[in-house]
Structure 1
C-alpha cells in the first residue's frame, strides 16, 4: 500500500457509517476523507471495549503495535493502523478496510489456494511472535489483488503465553532461513515504537518467544490440542 492510506487515516475527516456485526467489542465502519479523496476504515474505540480479566483497557494500542511489528519485519501482513484521539466515540484505532471476498478465509485459502501457503505460514509465525490469543479463520483475508492480510490483533502481546490460532497446518515444519533472519533482531530488542505501546514484561516475553523460535528452528507445535479460538471462523 502507498502512503495515501496512512494520510487518509491520520488526517482525514471521519464519518461513522455503522456498527460491524458479530464483533466481541464495538467495531465500526467509518469513511475517512481528505478533500475529494476518501476511503474506508475499521474504527475500534476504547469506549467500546468490554472489560477483560487478562487484558487491560486499551486494546486499540495492541492493534497499532501489531501493525508496527509487521512493518518492522518488512512483512506487510497487517493493514495500515493508527491511533486517533478525535473520532466520534473517542480514542481508538483506525485500520484501513480491506476489500475482499469475505467468503474466503484461512480454511478455504489453505484448501483451495496452495499458492498462499507461504504467506499463511508467515502469519502463523507472526502470531507466535505476537502471542495472538484470537487468530480465527475469518481474521485472514485475501484482497481483490490476491494479497493476504491478517486483521484483529487486539488480543496480542500478553506477557503470559496465550497463543490460540486455527493455523496449525505448518506445525513442525522448518522455518525458512529468511524469516529467521527477519525475526532475529527481536531476540535482542523490540522496535521502540512497539515497546512504547506495551509494558516491560510484555516486551521481555516477546523477546523470549523469538529466542525460542531461533533455537527450535521449526514452526510452533500445539502438543495440547487446546490452542484453538472459539468460534473457529
Structure 2
C-alpha cells in the first residue's frame, strides 16, 4: 500500500477523461512515476455540487476514510492522497481498482465466501457514518487478501457529526461484530489518529469516538429504521 501511495503522491498526472455519470466532477487519470504507473480517480473540490449538510472539500473525507481504513488494518479503501492537478486545483486522487463490473447486490447473492468481507465493510460504514454506500461503491479486485479483495469506494460523504448512515448493506442487521473487529475499533474510543483528526472538525472527531464506543458497547449491526437509510439510486 505504501508504494502505491507513493506513486500517487509523486507521479505525473495525465487526465484521460471525465466520468460521465458522476454527480460531482470526477476524472480518470494516469499517474506515471519513474518505476511504476497506475490509473486513478481524481475528484477536485472545484467540481463539487453544493450540499446543505457537507462543507466543500470532500477530498478531506476521502483521504480520512483511507487513513482510518489503514490504521484499522482493514484496507477496505483504495490508496488515496490529496493532490493539486492543473487546471482543476486540489482534490482527492484514489487508485483505480481494476474490476469486472460486479457490485454488492449480485456478489452478496452469489458469493457467500465474501460475506465476512462485506460484514467488515458494514462495520466500517457504521464507524465512519457513511451517507452514500451504493451497491456500485463496492468492487472486487486485487488487494491484500488476494485477487478477490472487497473494496469500498466513494467516501466523500462520511464522518458527519449527525447520524446519517445510508447504505445498501443491511443484510447483516442484528449480526454480531466479531471480537477481532471490535478490538481494532476500541482504541478509537479514547483517541482518533492525528492524520484522520486533522482532516475533520472537532465535533466530527467527537462523533467518530462516540460511534466507536457504540460498536464496543453494543457489538452488533443495526437495522434500517426508515427508507431514508437507503441511498438513491441503489446502484
Q: TM above 0.5, one fold?
A: yes
Aligned partner of residue 95 in structure 1, secondary structure: strand
Superposed, 1:2-41 pairs within 5 Å as 3-35=2-34, 37-41=36-40
In 1, Cα distance between the equivalents of 2:18 and 2:167? 25
2:226 to 215, 224, 227: 224
Aligned partner of residue 229 in structure 1, secondary structure: coil
In 1, Cα distance between the equivalents of 2:196 and 2:131? 18
In 1, Cα distance between the equivalents of 2:182 and 2:217? 10
Indicate the residue corresponding to 1:52 in structure 2. 51
2:203 to 201, 204, 208: 201
Offset of 1:37 from its aligned partner?
Answer: 2.5
Q: Which moved more, 1:143-152 or 1:84-93?
A: 84-93
Q: Is the 8 A contact 1:16 1:88 kept in 2?
A: no
2:138 to 123, 137, 140: 140
In 1, Cα distance between the equivalents of 2:121 and 2:211? 15
Segments of 5+ residues of structure 2 without an aligned counterpart are: none
Segments of 5+ residues of structure 1 without an aligned counterpart are: none
Which 4+ stretches in 1 moved above 6 angstroms? none
Offset of 1:215 from its aligned partner?
Answer: 1.4
Aligned partner of residue 153 in structure 1, secondary structure: coil
In 2, Cα distance between the equivalents of 1:9 and 1:39? 8
Provide TM-score, normalisation by structure 1: 0.96
2:166 to 164, 167, 181: 164
Aligned partner of residue 228 in structure 2, secondary structure: coil
Indicate the residue corresponding to 2:61 in structure 1. 62
1:149 maps onto 2:151 in alignment: yes
In 1, Cα distance between the equivalents of 2:74 and 2:36? 27
Q: Which moved more, 1:35-44 or 1:9-18?
A: 35-44
Aligned partner of residue 93 in structure 1, secondary structure: strand
Q: For 1:105-157, what per-residue CA distance to the aligned partner results, in whole angstroms no more than 9, with x for missing partners?
A: 01011001110000001110100100000000000000151111000000000
In 2, Cα distance between the equivalents of 1:113 and 1:17? 33
Provide TM-score, normalisation by structure 2: 0.95
In 2, Cα distance between the equivalents of 1:227 and 1:86? 35
In 1, Cα distance between the equivalents of 2:79 and 2:200? 19
Indicate the residue corresponding to 1:111 in structure 2. 109
Count of matched residue positions in the alignment of Structure 1 and Structure 2: 231
Indicate the residue corresponding to 1:184 in structure 2. 186
